[in-house]
Amino acid sequence: MEYIKIRFLDDFGQLGSKFEKSIEDMFRSMSPGFTLAERSWKPPMDMSETSQEVVIVAEIPGIEKEDLEVEISSKAVRIKGRRLAKYCAEDATYRLAEIQYGRFERVLYLPAPIDPEVVSASYHNGLLEIRLAKLPTERIHKIPIQDG
């Protein structure tokens, strides 16, 4: 059985250079083929919450499970990976290029504290599903007030 890599972290630290991203976005708006480095993309994701758990589903078809990585901190989940362009011959000329390739990274902030001991991830038919058990809510205890 193969597993999806899951790492638990205290914090994600610096998430990248905002300046570099803004320059790349500016040039990409003028010419969609322009990138400063390897092209990156953002796959669509859903996050839902029940009383028991938080569920994240990422739509990432065409990616090998070995190319996926999930990192969990106390506040967020980072999902990253890479989709390689492997469907076009080397000497071919693109006439339409809508499928996004390259590296991706998404950080989703969690709506509630989770139990890092109760986490699972599965990947099937291009959908990555991460289930995070919520920590039980704290119970409020009433304290009797005594006379002076």
Asked if residues 121 and 70 have their Cβ atoms less than 8 Å apart, the reply is yes
Query: For the chain, what are the domain ranges?
Result: 5-13+43-87+97-134
Query: Which phi-psi region, left, alpha or beta, contains residue 87 (left: φ > 0; alpha: ψ -120 to 50)?
Result: alpha
Class assignment of domain 5-13+43-87+97-134? Answer: mainly beta
Taking only the tens place, the pLDDT of each residue in 6-60 is 777 766 554 444 555 565 566 555 555 544 445 689 999 999 999 999 999 999 9
Predicted TM-score (pTM) above 0.75: no
